[in-house]
Amino acid sequence: MSGIKIKGTGRFVPAKAITNEYLSTIVDTNDEWITSRTGIKTRFHCTTETHTDMCVGAARQALENAGIKPEEIGACVVATFSADYLSPSAGCMLQRELGLPHDTVCFDLNAACSGFLFALHTMECLLAAAPRKYGLVLGAEMLSRFINWEDRGTCVLFGDGAGAVVVEWREDYPSIHALLGCHGDPNMLGVTGAEKPAPARIFMHGQPTFKFAVQAVPYCIDQVLERSGKTMDDVDFFVFHQANARIIDLAVRKYHIPPEKYYKNIQKYGNTSAASIPLVISELHDLGKVGPGSRILVVGFGGGLTWGGALIEFA
């Protein structure tokens, strides 16, 4: 048995908060409509900050929190589809800004809102063969650059941000028992492609996407528990992708998860896609709700369509 555990966490969000009240001045919407359907009150959008700035801020905080130096990192994976450049990758930009060793494996991974989970499992595999056994895993998105302000159903949902974890691989650590899946569908939820004459924009068909999510979440929970041989009682905290408060509430009711074992921050950040899950993990760690020995079950779902789950511990 071998696997990874979380050593440290970090996060970064832009300075500018976008409130529901502000959105009501530029879009045909209002606070009650947004809050009742999504649970979102504010979200943050970049103005002067770049995608690289967010990644660097989150990664440096995670390294400091873990007590790990950049030269100890063996791999760096950034889950994103909104980096500053098509090439170089956000991972390569982090290598430069943090001063990671030149033989550090650094790259980006695009699995939309499930990306952080795909990146965690990828890191678990990479570190098994890496000469240095610490890895940086980030979820970072600048979704504000893809918002369609003429679509009142999606423009209120998305925010920018980055979350990071430092993980350690050891032979005596348990596997994270990752469940990952996808079903190629270019029509339900995503970002329009570069072949279009218009700028790339987020699109979503709300009801089918909601139905997909409420099916994907319990499937992931059940499968991860079965793979790991654990029960609900063995999980200290449940971390869900923050796409919609109602989706989380349905899962909580289905599994009778007590309030002290789950957390929502969608009201503050909106949907930040791949950054969503690590933002939650970082906040939980800072609040003292998770720490050494804690076991968290993480569930993601989103465009692609993609879904995933994992059971990961804190070192």
CA 109 – CA 80 distance, rounded (Å): 6
Catalytic site includes residue 241: yes
CA 261 to chain centre: 19
Catalytic site includes residue 271: yes
Which residue among 113, 121, 155, 177 is the active-site one? 113
Which residue among 55, 241, 244, 285 is the active-site one? 241
Length of the chain: 315
- Which pair of structure tokens corresponds to residue 112? 């939309």
What are the backbone dihedrals phi and psi of residue 309, each rounded to the nearest 5 degrees, phi first? -150, 155
- 117 membership: H or E segment, kind and range: helix 115-129
Coil, strand or helix at 65: helix
Which residue among 20, 65, 148, 271 is the active-site one? 271
What are the backbone dihedrals phi and psi of residue 181, each rounded to the nearest 5 degrees, phi first? -155, 160
CA 77 – CA 138 distance, rounded (Å): 6
Catalytic site includes residue 20: no
Coil, strand or helix at 255: helix
CA 267 – CA 261 distance, rounded (Å): 18
For residues 204-242, one letter each, b for 16 or more C-beta atoms within 10 angstroms of the residue's C-beta and e for the rest, the string is beeeebbebbbebbeebbebbbebbebeeeebbbbbbbb
Count Cβ atoms below 10 Å from residue 106 Cβ, excluding itself.
Answer: 22
Coil, strand or helix at 238: strand
Radius of gyration of the chain (CA): 18
Active centre residues (catalytic): 113, 241, 271
